[in-house]
Structure 1
Amino acid sequence: MTDLSRRAVLGGALLSAAALSGCGPTQPSAPAGARKEPMRYTYGSDPSQFADLYLPEGEPRGVVVIIHGGFWRSQYSLELGVPLAEDLTPRGFACWNLEYRRAGNGGGWPETFEDIAAGIDLLSTAAKEHGLDISTTTALGHSAGGHLAVWAAGRASLPSGAPGAGTPAVPLTGVVSQSGVLNLQLAYEERLGSGAVQNLLGEPEGDKYRLADPVTAIPLAVPVVALHGEEDTTVPLSQSESYVEAAVAAGAEAELMLIPGDHFAMITPGTDAWERVVDAVEQLA
């Protein structure tokens, strides 16, 4: 079993599809001793089309949309984002832990991208119900989730008819990428993740690679903080480095920061790497 597989099983099996029916918020089960349970919202009929809303005590200092990684593959779920939400919520952040269809369970092109767009837009409904201020909404994405977070921040520039195109219901005001896959063309050429990009998008035909690649949406109108683990052997530094270099050259606000640890330290609360992630989230709040 790879390191990625070992981390992916953290938190147990995937959540039951039985809890995903309905169109309003529901309460997912939680282990004994857990913090206040999140509220679940669904944005489609597929079991993977949902998000969990975590609310802090008192007025939130900002909203964080958490998008998990796993090379876009179906064996990895939003369970990877649960520890992040549970750590950020007591720090005063409202968290929207987003699930989506991945390659192997109905995802790919265009479904994964449609889900990210619809899942973030659904936050506007939850915000109205709870009087939540979404004027400062940061996307926090790890690995493949970093790709989706930066892609989502550029939705407004997509051509009409493209997956996710149009005016977002919840405009993102910043992105924190955690060793994100931010250059799809390079990842394709290097067969990153044993061909993870090909597995997500298929062969490079038509416009889908261009429309899915964060590099082609440069320059973004919002800041991007690209964190990358100094010991990361899963996603090479060139993914963050090439994106930030291109973004800065185009006049966008983007920053590359090397942080201690490997690919997973930055999604492990209690590590120095995670504290650097929190610093970046607070910087954009």
Structure 2
Amino acid sequence: MSDFDLPLSAELSGAALDRAYNARATVSVETFETIIGQYRATSDQAAATLPARLGLVYDDCGERLDIFAGGQGGDLRPAVIFIHGGYWRALSRLESRMLAPVLAAEGIACVVPDYTLSPQVSLREIVRQMRAAFTWLWQNAEAEGIDRERIYLCGSSAGGHLVGTLLSGGWQAVAGLPPTAVAGAMPISGLYDLDPISRTFPQEWLQLGPADIADLSPIRTIDGAHCPVVAAYAAHEAPGFSLNSRAYAAAWQAAGGAAEVLEVPGCNHFDVLLEFTRPDSLLSQRLLQMIARGR
């Protein structure tokens, strides 16, 4: 077990553990539906108004990604890959483009990939797909007007977990990438230790085994912390998500990396992403600062 095992993993079980990881229970049905509607509306607006290349196939699995305001020729732009959440079984890139306008205004590309949802495929396959998406972008960066030395990661909830698996060591060499391929990361309300997840309701569709927990838990697979990480979470989270964020930042620091914890006030697990629609929000500003420092 990791030195940073989460207290919830040992202290809670059954219904109490379910509550600790049930983000949906922190908001009403009406609030949740309203927020998801805002996801789609802001994403549709981005697709309608920004220069973009939509629906690019990045892997033999057939899944696609969108690139907003990349461009070709001239100065190469930094880029943020945003990976959507949904407990690995819901949502898509079509609801996940809300970062693109704020980034485009600062000359930063936004890349939004899809992945095949669980339980249609295993979590191991979802991780493989996200690594394939990153590899595709790295290999095609110049053609898409992107500086491969300045590719940043952001993702929410399950997407935060997938950001963590891109930060994990070992896979880059197999893909022909340097271990320093990621310039920085802001995972939001991520799930970095899968042990408690394997003992609560998401196990119904994930069916995680011991090897999955060992190999796919980002907190257990840090192998050199090569970039800055901001582990963010909303103030009004189910406790499993905030605990994960704090534990992951501590593990990243222990591995020698620069990491900080950012609690976003006034937000819940879902509306925290709408903070990215405002350039002056704490979340937008912190992400833009990370990218500016890396230029």
TM-score range, shorter chain: 0.7 to 0.9
> Residues 83 and 160 of structure 2 are in contact (CA less than 8 Å); yes or no, is this contact kept in structure 1?
yes
CA distance in 1, matches of 2:95, 2:246: 25
Offset, 1:109: 3.2
Pairwise CA distance, 1:253: 2.3
User: SS of the residue aligned with 1:188?
Assistant: helix
How is 1:131-142 mapped onto 2 (pairs within 5 angstroms)?
Answer: 131-142=145-156
Q: Is the 8 A contact 1:153 1:174 kept in 2?
A: no
- Give the equivalent residue in structure 2 for 1:62: 78
Output the CA distance in 1 between the equivalents of 2:173 and 2:105: 34
Q: 1:131 to 1:242 in 2, by over 3 A?
A: closer
Match for 1:213: what amino acid? S
CA contact (8 A) 2:154 2:185 kept: yes
Equivalent residues in 2 for 1:83-162, closer than 5 Å: 83-104=98-119, 106-154=120-168, 156-158=169-171
2:272 matches 1:266: yes
- Conserved? CA contact 1:85–1:97, under 8 Å: no
Aligned to 1:275: 284
Larger relative contact order (Cα-Cα within 8 Å, sequence gap ≥ 6): 2
Q: Gaps (5+ residues) in structure 1?
A: 16-28, 159-163
**1:10–1:277 Cα change, 3 Å:** same
Cα 1:276–1:132 shift into 2, 3 Å = closer
Report what 2:249 is aligned to: 244
The answer to whether the 8 Å contact 1:139/1:172 transfers is yes
Q: Deviations over 1:206-249 (max 9, x none)?
A: x2211100011124322211011112238531010111222223
Residue 170 of structure 2 aligns with an amino acid whose one-letter code is: S
Q: How many residues in Structure 1 have an aligned counterpart in Structure 2? A: 256
Q: Which string of whole-angstrom CA distances, capped at 9 and with x for unpartnered residues, describes residues 170-193 of structure 1?
A: 72121111111122224434x2xx
RMSD of aligned Cα (Å): 3.1
Report deviation, 1:12: 5.1
In the alignment, does 2:49 pair up with 1:34? yes
Q: Of residues 217, 222, 227 in structure 2, which corresponds to 1:213?
A: 217
TM-score when normalising by structure 2: 0.74
Q: 1:64 Cα deviation (Å)?
A: 0.9
Cα pair 2:135 2:175 within 8 Å, conserved? no
1:72 to 88, 98, 105: 88
Matches within 5 A, 1:10-29: 10=38
Deviation at 1:257, TM superposition (A): 1.5
Distance 1:165 1:90, change over 3 A: same
The match for 1:173 among 183, 197, 200 is: 183
Contact 2:187–2:232 under 8 Å retained in 1? yes
Q: CA deviation at 1:93?
A: 0.5
Q: Which moved more, 1:83-92 or 1:229-238?
A: 229-238
TM-score, normalised with respect to structure 1: 0.76
Question: For residue 236 of structure 2, what is the aligned residue in structure 1?
Answer: 231
SS at match of 2:268: coil
In structure 1, distance between residues paired with 2:130 and 2:282: 26
Alignment check: 8 A CA contact 2:165 2:216 kept: yes
The whole-number CA distance in structure 2 between the counterparts of 1:254 and 1:169 is 23
* Structure (1/2) with the larger helix percentage: 2
Q: How far 1:157 moved relative to its partner?
A: 2.1
Point out where structure 2 has 5 or more consecutive residues left out of the alignment: 1-28
The CA distance in 1 between the partners of 2:162 and 2:95, in whole Å, is 15
Amino acid in the other structure paired with 2:291: E
SS of residue paired to 1:122: helix
